[in-house]
Amino acid sequence: MSRRSESARDPVQAPLEAPVRRLIEPFQEFVDSQSGSGWLLLAATILALLVANSPWAEGYFDARNLEFGFAFAGSTAVLTVEHWVNDGLMALFFLLLGLELKREFLVGQLSRPGQAASVLTAAAGGMVLPAALFLLAVDDVALRQAWAVPMATDTAFALMILVFLRDRVPLAARAFLVGLAIVDDLGAILVIALFYTRDLHTEYLPIVAGIVSVLALLNLSGVRRGWIYGVAGVALWLTFLAVGFHGTLTGVVVALFAPVKPAIGRERFASLARHRLTGFDEKHDPDTETILEAPEQHDSAHEVLRAARDATVPLKRWEQVIDRPVSYLVIPVFAFVNAGVMIDAEAIAQAWESELSAGILLGLLLGKPLGILAGVTLGRLTGLAAPPADLSSWHLLGLGLLGGIGFTMSLFVSSLSFDDRAILDIAKQGIMATSLLAGICGYLVLRYAPRQR
Q: Which long-range contacts (CB under 8 A, 24 or more apart) does 433-436 make?
A: 433/351, 433/357, 433/361, 434/360, 434/361, 434/364, 434/365, 434/404, 434/406, 435/154, 435/157, 435/364, 435/404, 435/405, 435/406, 435/407, 435/410
Q: What pLDDT, in 10s, does the model give residues 102-125?
A: 988 888 767 777 677 888 899 999
Lowest mean pLDDT among 110-124, 175-189, 365-379: 110-124
Q: What pLDDT, in 10s, does the model give residues 191-212?
A: 988 888 777 788 889 999 999 9
Domain with CATH 1.20.1530.10 in the chain: 34-197+246-261+313-447
Distance CA 263, CA 238 (A): 31
Flag whether pLDDT at 307 surpasses 60: yes
Backbone dihedral angles phi then psi of residue 289, each to the nearest 5 degrees = -95, -35
Backbone dihedral angles phi then psi of residue 111, each to the nearest 5 degrees = -85, -15
Report the alpha-carbon angle 321-325-331, nearest 5. Answer: 135
Flag whether pLDDT at 13 surpasses 70: no
pLDDT at position 30: 47
Flag whether pLDDT at 52 surpasses 80: yes
Distance CA 83, CA 64 (A): 9
The answer as to CATH 1.20.1530.10 being correct for domain 34-197+246-261+313-447 is yes
pTM higher than 0.95, yes or no?
Answer: no
pLDDT above 90 covers what percent of the chain? Answer: 44
DSSP string computed for 114-161: HHHHHHHHHHHHHHHHHHHHHHHH---HHHHTTTTGGG---HHHHHHH
Q: Which long-range contacts (CB under 8 A, 24 or more apart) does 109-112 make?
A: 109/175, 109/179, 110/179, 110/182, 110/183
pLDDT at position 373: 93
